[in-house]
Structure 1
Amino acid sequence: MPVDTLSEVLRTVRLRGAVFYAVSVGPMWAVEAPPSAEIAAMVMPGAARVIEYHVLVEGTAWASLAGQPPVRLGPGDVVLFPQGDAHVMASAPGVPPLPFSIDWMRATQELPKPLPIALDGASLAWGDAARRPDGCSNIVCGFLGCDHGPFNPLLEGLPRLLHVPADGDGGWLCQLMLQAARGATGPGGGALADRISETMFIDAVRRHASRLPDHATGWLAGLRDRQVGRALALIHADPRHPWNVAELARAAALSRSAFCERFARLLGVAPARYLARWRMEVAATMLRQSHAPVATIAFDVGYESEAAFTRAFARLVGMPPSHWRAAPLH
């Protein structure tokens, strides 16, 4: 059976989704969002990483990051910020943004979600006071909490701004997110909204991977590459196996030198380094999600002794396995 390497890596990322805001905006508006690290404890307590996302349900909007050109969004488009960057959402580039207020977020933290918000210029209202502005656009905003190990190649390789247009097969997502925003206050609605958010992230990653240009580098580009993708599938299917460069090169139908050059060019690390890091990612996940003895985990990721595994884990992760298991997620 073919190995679905992307699904294997996604399974090591425990996602927790939540729709937080159902926003209606007027003809001219802009709002800034802080780095996710500044608000993570309020929106996703304990998450190792927080990803903010926005789904444009109707109308138009622009998303921008410092140092990058703004991106225009159409109905059904999704934009995510996988590396937690501060960003601005606006009706048009250059509109002065409404400053973010962490005091406002604290004051509204306990209100039922998703919280209706109306933004028209500098006028902001929420909850029962929110009234849809004339000619408004509607945006569903939320957060994804990700619990993962120290070397997740997918999350490390995602761009700072991930824009997924709604063209093709993406229109269904807009309808689901709108349903989540409208129905989250009913029985079971919160769980529905959370699962839809998680599905949205997986679908966004899949569609992003399918749109990568031919010259792209990174983990998803390596996964797509015929030769390197074969080697990655083998490593992820059986991290316990004592893989070596010669064996992986044969599977990729390349010489050792050509394989190492191609692998490093696409992924930015040598095959042996990638294998060691992935083993630590798998081990770190097992340490957090199971009560298996360290010796058992060591064997499951390819180490013949607990001592050798402990030394390798401490060298690559910066702490011994027992400390990782006991440490808080965030």
Structure 2
Amino acid sequence: MDPLEDVLALLGTRAHLSTGMSAGGSWAVRFEPPDGVKFNAVLRGRCFLGVEGLDAPISLAQGDCFLLTRPLVFTLFSDPLAVPVDAGPLWTAAGDGLPHVGDGADTLLVGGRFSFGDRARSLLLDGLPPVIHVPAETGEASAVRWALDQIDTELRGCAIGSTLAAEHLAVVMLIHVLRLHLAREPRAVSGWLAGLADPVVAAALRSMHARPAHPWTVAELARTGAVSRSTLAARFKDTVGLGPLDYLTRWRIELASRRLRDGGDTLATIAHAVGYGSESALSSAFKRITGSSPREYRRRSAGALLPEPSPGQASRAG
């Protein structure tokens, strides 16, 4: 299995498209911190992106897109001297139409957000920088441009199922953006995402995700990358921040958590499925990582969040 695919599926990744925005002349629009991961793409024209905490604005040209991975205030603008208007009233006034700001319509943007399950921050988003910018001019961005063109076609055509098709295409775009970012700036990510950029670590990650219930040893994982135990252990810890078996324990607990949230399987069945020989072994590992027993977690999973593991927890896969 592919680790990125596994995590996006486990988090229930979904795209939600907005109506987009047209603008012209001198303009600026201020947006409140988004819920989830915000994305925008410039279909026509150009503008700037200013994000709370960033030293300088990012120039966006036609075909560019960006992901905002943190809940931060951001502003899209054509003129740094323009007084920003709030996005909320602008969208309310537009009703079912296309929000517009400024004079003319030389700039057109499409946007939306990605929503995830309640573990997205620790599993995915904390490993990414606050903003990922994909310029259209870079050669490797062709896949992103294809997805954007298809989204634009679906939204313009208004055919049967066009909204759903466009939302699925947006998830395709997200995968391509993450791929391109890993290839272009591997040092700008951390955690298991950083491991995907290291061929030795990535081989071990793929093996663990393909067979999470297998009783992996460091020596066996090292053979998947054709390196020694010590080399794998050092490179894995340096990139991911955990030892290989620590990571395996945490991934097993994530899989167990999903089964506890989404199904009615017994604890013994779940334990066997994720690599534990007994219910008690799963319960011990689950409580060590999350601070809760599996039964406690299942009881409150409808409305409560799973406690975040602390960096020092989980010394072994058991």
TM-score w.r.t. length of structure 2 = 0.81
Q: Is the 8 A contact 2:42 2:110 kept in 1?
A: yes
1:57 is displaced (CA, Å) by 0.4
| Among 145, 160, 164, the residue aligned to 2:115 | 145
The structure-2 alpha-carbon separation of the partners of 1:161 and 1:97, relative to structure 1 and needing over 3 Å to count, comes to same
1:252 is displaced (CA, Å) by 3.0
Q: CA offsets, 1:215-234, max 9 Å, x none?
A: 86543331121211111111
Could you tell me which runs of 5 or more consecutive residues in structure 1 were left unpaired when the two chains were aligned.
Answer: 41-49, 121-132
Q: CA offsets, 1:213-260, max 9 Å, x none?
A: 578654333112121111111111111112232332343333333322
Secondary structure (helix, strand or coil) at the match of 2:62 reads: coil
| Among 6, 11, 15, the residue aligned to 2:13 | 15
| Among 39, 46, 59, the residue aligned to 1:60 | 46
| 2:99 paired with 1:117 | yes
1:268 is displaced (CA, Å) by 1.8
Corresponding residue for residue 177 of structure 1: 151
| 2:242 paired with 1:272 | no
The structure-2 alpha-carbon separation of the partners of 1:86 and 1:274, relative to structure 1 and needing over 3 Å to count, comes to farther
Could you tell me which runs of 5 or more consecutive residues in structure 2 were left unpaired when the two chains were aligned.
Answer: 306-318
Structure 1 residues 1-330: aligned runs within 5 Å: 3-36=1-34, 40=35, 50-68=36-54, 69-93=56-80, 95-101=82-88, 112=96, 115-120=97-102, 133-134=103-104, 136-147=106-117, 149=119, 153-167=123-137, 168=139, 169=142, 170-184=144-158, 187-213=160-186, 217-325=190-298, 326-328=301-303
Partner Cα distance (2:100, 2:147) in 1:
23
Opposite residue 178 of structure 1, the aligned amino acid is: D
Opposite residue 98 of structure 2, the aligned amino acid is: P
Comparing 155-164 with 298-307, which one deviates more in the overlay? 155-164
Partner Cα distance (1:150, 1:300) in 2:
23
Q: Is the 8 A contact 2:43 2:63 kept in 1?
A: yes
The structure-2 alpha-carbon separation of the partners of 1:151 and 1:96, relative to structure 1 and needing over 3 Å to count, comes to closer
The structure-2 alpha-carbon separation of the partners of 1:90 and 1:251, relative to structure 1 and needing over 3 Å to count, comes to same
Opposite residue 193 of structure 1, the aligned amino acid is: A
Partner Cα distance (1:324, 1:94) in 2:
51
Opposite residue 82 of structure 1, the aligned amino acid is: T
Comparing 309-318 with 276-285, which one deviates more in the overlay? 309-318
Q: CA offsets, 1:147-170, max 9 Å, x none?
A: 264786444322211112234313
Opposite residue 30 of structure 2, the aligned amino acid is: E
- Indicate the percent of aligned positions where both proteins have the same amino acid: 34
Opposite residue 277 of structure 1, the aligned amino acid is: R
Over the aligned positions, Cα root-mean-square deviation in angstroms equals 2.8
The structure-2 alpha-carbon separation of the partners of 1:172 and 1:86, relative to structure 1 and needing over 3 Å to count, comes to same
The structure-2 alpha-carbon separation of the partners of 1:294 and 1:96, relative to structure 1 and needing over 3 Å to count, comes to farther
TM-score w.r.t. length of structure 1 = 0.79
Comparing 197-206 with 295-304, which one deviates more in the overlay? 197-206
Aligned length: 298
Q: Is the 8 A contact 2:128 2:188 kept in 1?
A: no
Q: CA offsets, 1:58-106, max 9 Å, x none?
A: 11122232232322111111111123332222225565432454x777x
Q: Is the 8 A contact 1:151 1:278 kept in 2?
A: no
Partner Cα distance (1:307, 1:96) in 2:
61
Q: Is the 8 A contact 1:147 1:329 kept in 2?
A: no
The structure-2 alpha-carbon separation of the partners of 1:328 and 1:273, relative to structure 1 and needing over 3 Å to count, comes to same
Opposite residue 53 of structure 2, the aligned amino acid is: G
Partner Cα distance (1:149, 1:216) in 2:
18
The structure-2 alpha-carbon separation of the partners of 1:62 and 1:324, relative to structure 1 and needing over 3 Å to count, comes to farther
Secondary structure (helix, strand or coil) at the match of 1:116 reads: coil
Opposite residue 177 of structure 1, the aligned amino acid is: I
Secondary structure (helix, strand or coil) at the match of 1:64 reads: strand
Secondary structure (helix, strand or coil) at the match of 1:147 reads: coil
Secondary structure (helix, strand or coil) at the match of 2:196 reads: helix
Partner Cα distance (2:147, 2:80) in 1:
26
Comparing 72-81 with 240-249, which one deviates more in the overlay? 240-249
Q: CA offsets, 1:287-315, max 9 Å, x none?
A: 33333222211111111111221232233
